[in-house]
Structure 1
Amino acid sequence: MDNELKPWETPTDEQQHKLPVRTAIGLVVGVLLWLGPYLGLVGVLVPQAMARITPDHKAAAIALMSGCAMVVSTIANIIEGALSDRTRSKHGRRTPWIVWGSIGTAITIVFWGMCTTVWQEVLADCVYMIFLNMIVAPLVAVIADRTSPKYRGTISSAYALGNDIGQFGGQVVASFFLPVPKTGFIVMAVLTLFSGPLAALFLKEKSTIDMPVTKVTWKNFSQNFAFPTKNALNFYLALIGKLFIVTATFCISSYQLYILTDYIKLTGSNVQRYVSLISMVMMVCSIICVLFAGPLSDKIGKRKAPVIFASMVIAVGSLLPMFTNSAYIMLAYAVVAALGKGMYDSVDQALNIEVLPDPKTAAKDLGLLNMANNGGQVLGPIFSASIIGIVGYAGIFPIAAITAAIGGILIIFVKGIK
């Protein structure tokens, strides 16, 4: 990289002569170790805890917890991402946030495992989101910080690789602790504790003590700490499209345990076996797509088309379980939906970077885009809880399919990007 490039400046294609491998490894490790525990908790261990605390109202309790967490996560994403953009330290802009966020998140998980009432579960999730977003918003901004346009698809794939291993592997690991949930919470806390420090070790951020930072005034407050307002149409189309696509996936995955027990009618050890099997199938299929889709996106120079196609594949996969409640259909869903999800994840972050209104506020704006992930993880359970109460579990699947398709249609309207 050109010696004149400042640590806080994004390299151009001419300045970055080779793929930033250390950045890729740091992203894989960092994302894997926060997302895996997160989804192991909200997808397996916390639903089990809610079923124990309030068996007759477990779906509504999960929806309440998710709704409160979304509000907290939204605020945390904006503030922590913006502060990260402006952080001057000898360890760089992002490192202090991801390290301290990992420590705070791990401590919160330990206390979360001790909760015995619904309100304690809700409060624990909200505190958890404050610390978790100290990792999430700065870490995703690393792609914009350190990657030139020609490598963004490949580095987005690295992020997606950590994302997909974490998403599905976290639930596999968590499922082993269904008989001993308190131990599972401790294991998730330990894994999260290593997320920020290990990512920082690979990223090796340089000092940003000399980085110029403008003083925040009421006049420029919206630029630094609020939603963008100038040249932001593509940004909002990408954000809302992402929200719909992620919501679709979490309509099903957040209720996977209940789908298997209450819709598929599995009991005993079969539940744990299918949670593990579905997660393993989804992880393998998703990784296969991740390894090829991002680099292919770089080669053909297209971001929109892969994202749109992936959303339609997710829609098709989501629709399958509507037709039968036989156990095998969840495996068919796992294969199709995971292929779409892997393709989507591998190009998503590259598209996000290309719709940013201002590179100077990358962490804040990427944090807002990532808010669609958090929002989808919250809205998915809320949509599902509403549908379950009206038509039963079979209604989840067409809603998920329609939601994914709407997300892809919105991406079509993004202008100026292939």
Structure 2
Amino acid sequence: MSATTSPSPVPTDDDQASVPVRGGVALALGCFLWLGPYLGVNAVLLPARVAEIAPQEKTGVIALLATVAMIVATLANVLIGAFSDLTRSRWGRRSPWLIVGSIGSAAMLLAVGRASTVGQLVLLWAIYQVFLNAIVAPLLAVISDRIAPRHRGTISSIYAFGYSAGLYGGQIIGAQFLGGLWAGFVVLAALTLLSGPVAVLLLREPSSRDLPRRHLSKAMLLDSFSLPRKDCRDYYLALFGKFLIISATFAISGYQLYILTDYMRLGDGSTAGYISSIATILMITALVMSAISGPVSDRIGRRKLPVVVAGVLVAVGVLVPAVSASPWTMLVYAVIAGVGMGAFNAVDQALNVEVLPNQDTAAKDLGVLNLANTGGQIVGPIVAAAAISAIGYRAMFPLAAALALVGCVLILMIRRVR
């Protein structure tokens, strides 16, 4: 069975003899086209815009934007994931949401680029999170819907390739527009607009009209719109382990502009060059590990070990800039953390699918798990801001390393997956 056949039931290993490459490419491109713009804005253009609007309160405003985004993203992920699971249409369960999410996210990025007050930024950034999660939750559910267990590591690797390209490529693109922020917002909005349509065209999702419909009841509402309640110990260990590891990485990347300018005292000319160099190193190392780690995980039949090793590498990488306030430490961080995050992203999605407590609510439950990504991207800078305010920039690095190591411990505690 290929990745373009009926979404129910989920293909077994016997059904899906070969790797469903088209489904993997759809995931990779769809992810790159939403995540690249998101990170280009979140890590580069948004901090630069905040510095123009409120230069004296920039760290506090970034923390406020992160907090509001986390709250909105949490609610949006659960609700949109649940509605996606319940959607019955000629275009399938996931495709309508991918299209609406892409259009809305692109429009909101343009609006954010024109915002002139902190209040406008907060409101528009919150609305953007709603539309963004209409892409994220349905797209992730494709792995659970249409990929047999034997191929999930490989497909997660293909997905991670797109994820890593977006994660770091978006920052490279964003850094090119530090001298002209509006043009950067336009380019990144245009890329976002392509995310859903590209994924939909490649996936060619069949109609979901014939799938069983759930009648309105208390049990249906609880299953569809609440967090998992049964057989979910491993699910929550995966959630919080992932959350802490992602938080560790984004404590650094979310503040890298200020680390370079305020901690390492670089001027504007050098800063743009270092941001591009760091992002390039992170991207190359992550892409290489993304291509290798998933197939290796499939071959050895293990998910936890590759994820934990990757988390330890992240912890080592984020600790390096504490050694010296010299720019070279950020380059070393990029090499070590890039290897770690590449391996982590390649295997983690396969781990997530295998700890799901209920296949029927896959989009909602994977959407909640993905909050570890979006939440970590948001909470990481909040933790960094607290460390900077209380002690100084040097304190944020050991704190980030500690987060990653605790996350590794939680992953090790998972029982269901080897």
Alignment match, 2:360: 360
Alignment match, 1:409: 409
CA contact (8 A) 1:157 1:347 kept: yes
Residue 237 of structure 1 aligns to which amino acid in structure 2? L
Residue 98 of structure 2 aligns to which amino acid in structure 1? I
Alignment match, 1:174: 174
CA contact (8 A) 2:355 2:416 kept: no
- Is 1:125 the counterpart of 2:110 in the alignment? no
In structure 1, distance between residues paired with 2:400 and 2:21: 36
**Displacement after TM superposition at 1:6 (Å):** 3.8
**Displacement after TM superposition at 1:416 (Å):** 2.3
In structure 2, distance between residues paired with 1:224 and 1:96: 18
Alignment match, 1:348: 348
Alignment match, 2:82: 82
Residue 332 of structure 1 aligns to which amino acid in structure 2? V
CA contact (8 A) 2:314 2:404 kept: yes
Residue 62 of structure 1 aligns to which amino acid in structure 2? I
In structure 1, distance between residues paired with 2:328 and 2:111: 37
Length-normalised TM-score, structure 1:
0.98
CA contact (8 A) 1:216 1:224 kept: no
Alignment match, 1:215: 215
- Is 1:397 the counterpart of 2:403 in the alignment? no
Report Cα offsets for 1:169-195 as digits up to 9, x if no partner. Answer: 000001101100011101110000000
Alignment match, 2:232: 232
Residue aligned with 2:219, SS: coil
**Displacement after TM superposition at 1:377 (Å):** 1.1
5+ long unaligned stretches in structure 2: none
Matching of residues 192-341 of structure 1 within 5 Å: 192-341=192-341
Alignment match, 2:57: 57
Matching of residues 65-144 of structure 1 within 5 Å: 65-144=65-144
Residue 166 of structure 1 aligns to which amino acid in structure 2? G
In structure 1, distance between residues paired with 2:7 and 2:354: 20
In structure 2, distance between residues paired with 1:140 and 1:196: 12
In structure 1, distance between residues paired with 2:70 and 2:8: 30
Residue aligned with 1:220, SS: helix
Length-normalised TM-score, structure 2:
0.98
Report the number of matched residues: 417
Residue 270 of structure 2 aligns to which amino acid in structure 1? N
In structure 2, distance between residues paired with 1:65 and 1:387: 17
In structure 2, distance between residues paired with 1:375 and 1:53: 25
**Displacement after TM superposition at 1:8 (Å):** 2.8
Residue 330 of structure 2 aligns to which amino acid in structure 1? M
5+ long unaligned stretches in structure 1: none
In structure 2, distance between residues paired with 1:7 and 1:88: 12
Residue 147 of structure 1 aligns to which amino acid in structure 2? I
In structure 2, distance between residues paired with 1:81 and 1:219: 17
Residue 395 of structure 1 aligns to which amino acid in structure 2? A
CA contact (8 A) 2:248 2:380 kept: yes
Residue 89 of structure 1 aligns to which amino acid in structure 2? S
In structure 2, distance between residues paired with 1:97 and 1:197: 10
